[in-house]
């Protein structure tokens, strides 16, 4: 799959620095693209938009919800 890089997305050089710092073990289904997830989180923080308004190229809403800190789910 080809993923277009957005204006605020991480560059290859930035990702090369960040990726080794992320935890490797996980609970549940593995993520398709950790880089897309990180870019989506960064987009949301940068814009202040609610999760439902995060563009679909960063993943589906349920996928983003499953990765909240502490595993908390929205009720």
pLDDT value of position 67: 56
In a domain, 2, yes or no: no
- Give how many domains the chain has, as a whole number: 1
Q: In angstroms, what is the C-alpha Rg of the chain? A: 13
Domain span holding position 51: 32-75
Arithmetic mean of pLDDT over the chain: 77
In a domain, 49, yes or no: yes
pLDDT value of position 71: 55
Q: CA triplet 68, 45, 13: central angle to 5 degrees?
A: 95
- The backbone torsions φ and ψ at residue 24, rounded to the nearest 5 degrees and listed phi first, read -95, -35
Distance between CA atoms of residues 7 and 42, nearest Å: 11
In a domain, 62, yes or no: yes
In a domain, 37, yes or no: yes
In a domain, 10, yes or no: no
Q: Which residues contact 67 (CB under 8 A, 6 or more apart)?
A: 31, 37
Residue 62: pLDDT over 80: no
Residue 52: pLDDT over 90: no
pLDDT value of position 1: 41
pLDDT for 26-51, tens place per residue? 666 666 688 888 898 899 999 999 88
In a domain, 44, yes or no: yes
């Amino acid at each position: 799959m080809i993923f277009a890089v957005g204006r605020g997305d991480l560059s290859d050089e930035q990702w090369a620095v960040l990726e080794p710092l992320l935890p490797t073990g996980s609970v549940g289904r593995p993520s398709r693209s950790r880089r897309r997830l990180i870019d989506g989180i960064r987009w949301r923080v940068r814009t202040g938009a609610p999760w439902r308004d995060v563009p679909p190229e960063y993943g589906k809403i349920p996928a983003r919800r499953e990765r909240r800190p502490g595993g908390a789910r929205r009720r």
